[in-house]
Amino acid sequence: MKKFFLLAVIAVVAAVSCQKAEAPQLSVSTSSLNYGPNGGNAVFQVTSNVDWTASASADWITLSTTSGSGNATFTVTVPAFTETSARSGQVTVKAGELQQVVAIVQVAPVAPNETIENNYKVIALGGTFAVNVPKGYSLTAETEADWIEAEIADGVMTLTVAPYVNGTASRTATVDAVFGENVLVEVTVEQSYRNVEPGELLIEEVYFTGSPIEGSTSPSMDQYIKLTNNADHVIYADRVMFVTSFISGTISSVGAYYEYPVLEDGLAVENMYVIPGKGDEHPLQPGESIVLAFAAIDYTNSYEEDGETVEGNPNAIDLSKADFEFYDENEYWPDTDNPDVENLEIWFKESATITTLHKRGFESYAICLPPYNEDAESILANRHWEGARTFYFNEYVIPSDLATQDVWVIPGEWVLDAVNCSLKDSWYQNPWPAAFDAGWTYCGAYDGDPDRFGKSVRRKEVDGKLADTNVSTNDFTPNATPSLK
């Protein structure tokens, strides 16, 4: 019995051994996978009866698995693509000597048809600012300007503009964000040769009358000028010049007056005081003000002047915390210097003693910003007002040469702001060209009006901004309460 069983087993084994072994098989469901510029996932099927391995030809191709056995679903992932030309690779599946290849193709993004244009204005100090650029593209920044550096990352082009030193006119350049041969963003950068433009820094207030003193017909000398940043960005007050008019807009009480040659685009000035600084020392935030005091004294308390004690005036203003003061060193009239308040630079002063504002307002005022190639020496040497003026009084007509007068012409392009002052009943001419101020404002109804004391001229506010129509009649409130009271 055992003999027959053994023979049967041998017969079965022999039969199986004689059968032909099954051949290895390997196939894939597609020969290629195509992707858009945003990338994504795609699948294909592997059919096999043996073990297999898979590999990608590029590191930007990610496989869901790199080996398996038998049939399987295969996922191929590629990331977003930002270059200008399509890219390709392949996935290779191997099983022994068998091999299947799936081509991987990803197309490049298509550039927009229209260029985005931006315009930026930059102050002389320069700075860094950001410009949004389209994402999904490998962009390069291109500019021919050696004063601009540009970098692009994460959808932002960062522009760094160098300081503009000793310029006399604005400079302009373009910066392009380029994709291949296509300009996606074009930025025009205009850099000024100065840190303040006309209309950005304004004369907000002029307090020229002084505060009344009980029992006296003379006021305190607590005069000041208030300048305010009316822009939406930081500006710098360095080198801003405060000037007073050589011409008076007020006719005298006896009817005498001068007739002057016409200045089309400039200011005839005498006193010139300048805020010190090299360009970046005195920043002003939007809406921030600075006070220029003619003496940085607390007039409400007693103080020493010329070796004598002056009693404090409770009606006066404390100017000891002013930002700058007019300090005049001279041999005729000792001035009071507050060591805690920075002095204005004197480029020229008409008075041989101490400069003050005309208490009745027979002056006009302006602030200017000379270019860096101009200083006191160049102005006094090259900008004297030439010509003749004529004095009229009753039957007298007397011409005289302006060459004998201390008067200089400030170019109109330097002017940031101007205001004409007078008396309510005595205005007769405009000391400045109308482009800078076509109106006038006042404190006091008539010459000698005691009610003018303690009053200032203050610029009005419209929609959160200071009014600036270059017509002081509209822009200023006459006989106003001083803001520092």
So what's the pLDDT on residue 21? 66
Over residues 196-208, the mean pLDDT reads 97
Per-residue pLDDT at 290 exceeds 80: yes
Q: What is the model's pLDDT at position 445?
A: 87
Residue 1 has pLDDT above 90, yes or no: no
Q: What number of other Cβ atoms are within 10 A of residue 352's Cβ?
A: 10
Confidence of residue 5 (pLDDT cuts 50, 70, 90): very low
Q: Give all domains of the chain, ordered by start, each with its CATH number.
A: 26-106 (2.60.40.10), 116-191 (2.60.40.10), 201-480 (no CATH)
pLDDT of 304 strictly over 90: no
The predicted pLDDT at position 335 comes to 86
Give the pLDDT score at 308: 82
What's the average model confidence in pLDDT over 90-117? Answer: 95
Which pLDDT band holds residue 239 (cuts at 50, 70, 90)?
very high
pTM equals 0.80
Whether residue 15 has pLDDT greater than 80? no
∠ CA 415-382-262 to the nearest 5 degrees? 55
- Supply the pLDDT for residue 383: 97
pLDDT bin (cut points 50, 70, 90) of residue 251 is confident
Mean pLDDT of the region 230-252? 94
Question: Taking 60 as the threshold, does the pLDDT of residue 393 lie above it?
Answer: yes
* pLDDT reading at 215 higher than 90: no
- The per-residue pLDDT of the chain, averaged, comes to 92
- pLDDT of residue 156 exceeding 90: yes
pLDDT given for residue 285 in this prediction: 97
What mean pLDDT do residues 341-364 have? 93
Average pLDDT value for residue range 342-356: 93
